[in-house]
Copies of this chain bind each other. A is one copy, B any other.
Amino acid sequence: MTETELHQGSEHADGVVDLLGMLAYATLSGFFRLTDDAAIAVSLADKMALAEMAVAEYGHFRRLLRRLEELDVDPGTAMQPFVQALDAFHARTRPADWLEGLVKAYVGDGISADFYRTIADLLDPPTQALVSEVLADTGQADFVIARVREAITADPSVAGRLALWARRLVGEALGQAQRIAAEREALARLLVGGDPAQLGKIGRMFAKLTDAHSGRMAALGLAGQGAR
């Protein structure tokens, strides 16, 4: 193995550990957020639906943990670098009510999933398969879209407020993702194909994330809202 290959190999391994660690802490946080939403759900049916999604999210967390252990990496050590950024994101985007919680679960998770998938695409096929497995939708999207559309039908004035809220979520999510991409060298190198000078690539990736976000806003019935 040449020096370059060795270097690329360990760089790749660092990227895998970073991605899995980040994703593990994100799914653990997602689990807590979904249980919070479930706890404040008014109907027992909604409560159970959200609790089921939370438990499914915890199953994803367990899969990532097992993979880190297979790679002989301590999960706590792998997650630690991302605890602060993800906790900060959640602290800055605490939903004021049930609807904001739902929009956050859909919009926030959507844009994060796109971010994780972009990184996974640069890694090996088994890692890609695992990431796509743990990012699989657990019924959340349909549930949120139905509930948000119902709420808008019942009271059209909520649309503007939720659209602004979604825009804030995206801003905060991109901010934290940018911070992570810049601070974690292994991730930054992966994203720019080994050339740290090409930071513009990261910017273009973020532009792509924002495009996908627009599709989700349309699904919620929030496209073109809140801009006035």
Q: Which residues of A contact B (CB under 8 A)?
A: 28, 31-32, 35-36, 38-39, 44-45, 47-48, 51, 54-55, 58, 61, 65, 75-76, 79-80, 83
Contact = CB atoms under 8 A, between A and B. Distances in A.
Contacts of A48: 28, 65
A58 B51 CA distance: 8
How many of these chains are in the complex? 2
Contacts of A80: 44
Nearest to A33: B39
A32 B28 contact: no
Contact of A51 (B28, B36, B38, B51): B28
A31 B51 contact: yes
A161 to B, nearest CB: 26
Given A55-B55, A55-B58, A76 B44 contact: yes
A58 B31 CA distance: 13
Q: Which of A38, A51, A79: most chain B Cβ within 10 A?
A: A51
A39 B32 contact: yes
A48 to B, nearest CB: 8
A76 B44 CA distance: 7
A195 to B, nearest CB: 34
A83 B43 CA distance: 11
A27 to B, nearest CB: 11
Given A55-B58, A76-B44, A76-B45, A35 B31 contact: yes
Contacts of A61: 51
A22 to B, nearest CB: 14
11 contacts: A28-B47, A28-B51, A31-B51, A32-B38, A32-B39, A32-B51, A35-B35, A35-B54, A44-B79, A44-B80, A55-B55
